[in-house]
Amino acid sequence: MSEQTPSTKGPVGVPIVESASGAVPPAGSSRGFTRTGEEVLHVGHVITLARATFEGPAGEIMERDVVHHPGAVAVVAIDGDDVVLVDQYRPVLERQMLELPAGKLDVPGEDRLTAARRELVEEAGYDAPDMVELGSFHNSIGFCDEHTTIYLATELVPATPVAVSIEEEYLTVERVPLDGVEALIANGTITDAKTVIGLLWTLRRLGCCAASAGRITCSSAWVGFYWWMGGL
C-alpha cells in the first residue's frame, strides 16, 4: 500500500488524502483489484445474492457476499410550501416509515426519469411532467450495488394512484412543511437514507431559503453539512 499523507482540507476542514506521489486516484479506479468469478446463491423478487471472488493487487484472493439490485429512483415533490411524503409499512424494519415516493427500476426498457414519474403517480397520486435531477448515490457500498437517482418535482398535476403491492394499499400520503423537514431529520422521525439525502439536496438547491414564500431557513449546523455534501 502506498503511503498516505493528508494534504489540503475540504470546505469544513475534512482532510483530502493524497498518495505519496501527490495524485488522487480517479473516481472508479479499482487500484489493481479484479473480479475473477461469481456464484449466484439466490435470486429473489428484488435482489440477487452472489458470492464473488476477487484478486488483489499482489495476487491475494478474497471472497465477498454481493447483493445485486436493479437500481432505484425517488422524487422530492414540492407543492407550495409542502413536500409530499408517503408513510408506509416496511417489513424489514417492522414499522411505518416516512419517506419520499420511490421505487426500483423493475420495468424493462424504462429509463430513470420515466420510472420516477411512474412511482410518483403510483404512490402519491401526482404526476410531474417536468423534473430536475438532484443527484445520485450508491446506497450501501459495503455489500450492495444499488444506485439511486433523486429528482425534484415542483409542478405537480393530480393523478390517480395505483397500488402495486400490499404495503402500498395501506400507505398514506403526508404533506409536510418543507421548512420543518430538518427538524424531522434531527429528531429521528425521518431516518430513511434516500429521504434524508433528497431533502437535504433540495434545501441546498433552494439555497436554504424559501420554496415559494421566503419562510425556509437553515441552522448553521445544517449549512455546514450541506457545504460538506457539495457546497451551497
Residues annotated catalytic, as ranges:
167
Question: How do 102-104 and 61-68 pair as beta strands?
Answer: unpaired
Please identify which residue in the block is written with the cell numbers 404512490.
123
List the grid coordinates of 170: 395501506
For helices 193-205 and 220-230, angle between their N-to-C axes, nearest 10 degrees? 100
**Pairing mode, strands 48-55 and 61-68:** antiparallel
Q: Are strands 4-9 and 126-127 parallel, antiparallel or unpaired?
A: unpaired
The Cα–Cα gap between 133 and 184 comes to 24
Give Cα 63 distance to the centre of its chain.
27
Handedness of CA 75, 78, 84, 85 (dihedral sign): positive
